[in-house]
Structure 1
Amino acid sequence: MDTRPPAPQPAEVTPLPLSAPPTPEADPRKPHERRPSARSLLVTGALRLGARPFIHLVPGHARTLRTARTTVDAASLLMRPTSRVHIRPLVDPRVETDRAERPVAGEWVVTREGERTASGAILYLHGGAYVVCSPRTHRPITSRLALDTGLPVLVPRYRLAPENPFPAPLEDAVAAYRWLLDRGVPASGIVIAGDSAGGHLAAALTGEILRTGLPRPAGTVLFSPWVDLTCEMSTRAQRRARDPYISAYAARRVARLVVGPAGFDDPRLALLASPWTDAPPILIQVGGAEVLRPEAEALAEALTRAGNDCELQVWKGQMHVFQILNRVLPEASAAMRETARFVRRVVAAGTTATEAVA
């Protein structure tokens, strides 16, 4: 199987919006500042009543989580990606390199236009509390990213806990980033992105790149990032937040399996304690109603305090990773447009900087 990414070629990427954004005359506020739509209120209300009670009771042991993983993967078969993208499997054992590299597996999500003209790529790390989900479950987000930006999206199938506790997922994410670099995709054209636990992983990968001296990516996008795996902040927020379905108490039980016997001592877990020196531009989107909001705000504050370009968008009334419902919720569609705007900006800036150095 040909594992090569689409050949990087300088090109101006034109977004492919799925729906027209609201006109400024209709509402002068920024999209994330507007009141939730009736459709959004209906969906979040249904989740609060139907899904959250079950999630709150999820036990923190491996057998139940493996059952949940099988169920979620089976349900993802019902979510067919749009016909406007191609899904291409990727399996590369990495035997040709002189370095001891981890295998890279996952999938490419590409458009016909992006396959021919892409000047970079998005490295997307899916969420699922580090214990469930896969590249397939997050195709509503990855296919929309490919369509709106014109860039191919690489979604690695990283190892999951409890069988593979942290830092196994981070090692796989680093391997995927190196894989892109080794195949000629310039770091100035790569945007790292992720949601929930994948948001934590995307931020941890960015920090690891800075720590180890790998070429810095163009930018990082975090959707509802799970910043504090000790769940101290979200547990405090649970008392006053009306999160539609995320339970901080269930997350805390799962987190013990994610970190494994080593516990929470690995400094790569502690995003708020990272120095964040010379980080790339970062966009953080978080729902205003979710218990992870204080964590996202704390991370944005830490990044800004360190002198970095960080844009925080708190989407009023929205739930955890609402972007995955971009075919249903107008707010989710608007959030994806905002993300595409950010991606185009940082990739264009990275390309200009690279050309200036050359």
Structure 2
Amino acid sequence: MDQLLPGDPLQSSRQSRVIAQALRLSLWPLLNRAPGPPGSLQAFRATVDAAARLLPVSPGVRIEPLADPRVETGEPPVAGEWVAPAGPVAEGAVLYLHGGGYVMCSPRTHRSITSRLAVESGLPVLVPRYRLAPEHPFPAALNDALAAYRWLLSRGVPAGRIIVAGDSAGGHLAASLTGEICRIGLPAPAGVVLLSPWVDLECELSLGSDARDAYISAHAAQRVARLVIGDADPRDPRLALLHRAWTDMPPFLIQVGGNEVLRPEAERLAKALGDACELQVWPGQMHVFQILDRLLPEARTALREAARFIGSVLHPSAAGAADAA
């Protein structure tokens, strides 16, 4: 496990500090009461979707809807969207699983991340619209993510040219998917990128954290997790990521904010992955700071780092030559 603390570990940009304080005063009190009374989740979903329209999309991409019912094969349908560079597209794909606590958000809400990844990596990004809890508790989202991965393979995308990525709950889903791919014997992806992953749905580590995250609460996350897990066993290794064996894994990159409450979970997962993992702790940053790509210099740099990692696992010989030079 390599740990990188980009920049000065005691400093963050002025923009970062101002935005974090604004979110701490406005959004944190609302999220700390999640999931709230019946019906509030639907209202919160609508609010988040509307707010996401204010986040600018990186120029130089095209966005195309995807809806494949797969009637001819009888396999699970795959729906979502492609976010691809407007110019030449490299061979392969990023399978990006959006965050939102497994209970909200969509491909649209995360276009600021997916569009930047497409531009920086040169790869098309497939963002599936997986089913959300509590209407569809575990393992619905995992089954949908696995269907999307199988869909890419069936369309001729080599596993060695696929990157699995996700943020927050999508980071949990990306890690769980990777473990399941290896467990059932599918060809493994070239690499995995986790942005502020929600690793421990029972939140045992984050509940003991003294971090001043700008908008996520460990207690609220724990309450949301009950909606996600449903009647499943919380010790199921597809849920309890810290209690499963992480052997023979593809390379991982984990990025986590220095101020976020989920940092201990990310660090524990990185330790479990060992040499397969590169851990980046970004000083002063909050949960999924990368989504503010057009506002925070740290977010832009972090996504460039993610693209650098993607290039290194897709072109290891070129990365090795660059390091030697």
Question: Which TM-score tier does this pair reach, normalised by the shorter chain?
Answer: over 0.9
Which amino acid letter does the alignment assign opposite residue 79 of structure 2?
A
Q: Contact between 1:189 and 1:351, CA under 8 Å: does it hold in 2?
A: no
User: Match of 2:116, SS?
Assistant: helix
Q: Percent identity of the aligned residues?
A: 64
CA distance in 2, matches of 1:61, 1:214: 41
Question: 1:219/1:291 Cα in 2 relative to 1: closer, same or farther (>3 Å)?
Answer: same
User: Match of 1:151, SS?
Assistant: coil
> Is it true that 1:87 corresponds to 2:85 in the alignment?
no
Q: Between Structure 1 and Structure 2, how many residues are aligned?
A: 315
Q: Contact between 1:221 and 1:283, CA under 8 Å: does it hold in 2?
A: yes
Q: State the partner residue of 2:211.
A: 241
Q: State the partner residue of 2:87.
A: 113
1:289-343: CA deviation from partner (whole Å, max 9, x where unpaired): 0110000000000010xxx420000101100000011111111111011101000
Q: 2:269 aligns with which of 286, 289, 299?
A: 299
Which amino acid letter does the alignment assign opposite residue 299 of structure 2?
A
Q: State the partner residue of 2:322.
A: none
The Cα shift of 1:351 comes to 11
CA distance in 1, matches of 2:216, 2:141: 22
CA distance in 2, matches of 1:120, 1:61: 43
The Cα shift of 1:138 comes to 0.1
Question: 1:72/1:233 Cα in 2 relative to 1: closer, same or farther (>3 Å)?
Answer: same
Q: Contact between 2:55 and 2:292, CA under 8 Å: does it hold in 1?
A: no
Q: State the partner residue of 2:293.
A: 326
Superposition map of 1:41-190 within 5 A: 41-60=17-36, 63-97=39-73, 100-115=74-89, 118-190=90-162
Q: State the partner residue of 1:349.
A: 316
The Cα shift of 1:267 comes to 2.2
CA distance in 2, matches of 1:54, 1:114: 43
Q: State the partner residue of 1:310.
A: 277
1:238-283: CA deviation from partner (whole Å, max 9, x where unpaired): xx21111111111111110011122414221011112112100000
> Is it true that 1:275 corresponds to 2:239 in the alignment?
no
Q: Contact between 1:160 and 1:169, CA under 8 Å: does it hold in 2?
A: yes
CA distance in 2, matches of 1:101, 1:114: 31
Which amino acid letter does the alignment assign opposite residue 271 of structure 1?
L
CA RMSD, Structure 1 to Structure 2 (Å): 1.8
1:77-127: CA deviation from partner (whole Å, max 9, x where unpaired): 333423411100000011232xx4210000000112244xx2110000000
CA distance in 1, matches of 2:318, 2:154: 18
CA distance in 2, matches of 1:222, 1:187: 18
CA distance in 1, matches of 2:111, 2:291: 8
Q: 1:39 aligns with which of 15, 38, 51?
A: 15
Which amino acid letter does the alignment assign opposite residue 316 of structure 1?
P
User: Match of 1:269, SS?
Assistant: coil
Please list every run of 5 or more consecutive structure 2 residues that lacks an aligned counterpart in the other structure. 320-325
The Cα shift of 1:32 comes to 7.3
CA distance in 1, matches of 2:226, 2:127: 25
Question: 1:186/1:68 Cα in 2 relative to 1: closer, same or farther (>3 Å)?
Answer: same
Which amino acid letter does the alignment assign opposite residue 312 of structure 2?
R
Q: 2:163 aligns with which of 176, 181, 191?
A: 191
> Is it true that 1:203 corresponds to 2:187 in the alignment?
no
